[in-house]
């Protein structure tokens, strides 16, 4: 039995096959999931689990080189935005329109759906490399 790290077997599997520049999305419970992208649905009820709780666990177990958020989070969800930004260096974060975000998600290896029920609590994480060239 695993002692630490992510216990969810689907998330653990996806993280283990991520390569440099591959992307993984973590989204709120209302985000539209594209049919061609694997969805790991963790949602239990509104607010469970929270977006930030899942994000923190994933980045503890995953090398992130960049993060993409929707511009709309700035005016609609400043609390989640502030906490999410505190997890990254400023140069790692990029903002795009929500429409562009939904297009970018279609090339993700997987989407992790949380129970988050606040607006625009969505992020795309681009995989970094754990060794330096």
- Residues annotated as part of the active site: 20
What is the DSSP code string of 71-127?
A: TTHHHH-HHHHHHHHTTS-GGGEEEE-HHHHHHHHTT-SEEEE----STT--EEEEE
Helix or strand (DSSP H, E) at 56 = helix 51-60
Residues 56, 126 contacting (CB under 8 angstroms): no
Residues 102, 36 contacting (CB under 8 angstroms): no
């Amino acid at each position: 039995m695993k002692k630490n790290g992510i216990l969810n077997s689907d998330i653990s599997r996806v993280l283990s096959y991520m390569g440099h520049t591959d992307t993984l999305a973590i989204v709120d419970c209302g985000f539209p999931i594209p049919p061609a992208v694997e969805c790991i649905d963790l949602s239990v009820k509104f607010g469970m689990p929270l977006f930030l709780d899942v994000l923190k666990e994933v980045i503890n177990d995953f090398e992130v080189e960049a993060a993409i958020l929707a511009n709309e989070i700035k005016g609609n969800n400043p609390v989640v935005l502030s906490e999410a930004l505190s997890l990254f260096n400023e140069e790692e974060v990029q903002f795009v329109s929500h429409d562009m975000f939904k297009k970018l998600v279609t090339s993700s290896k997987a989407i992790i759906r949380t129970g988050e029920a606040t607006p625009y609590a969505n992020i795309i994480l681009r995989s970094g490399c754990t060794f330096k060239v």
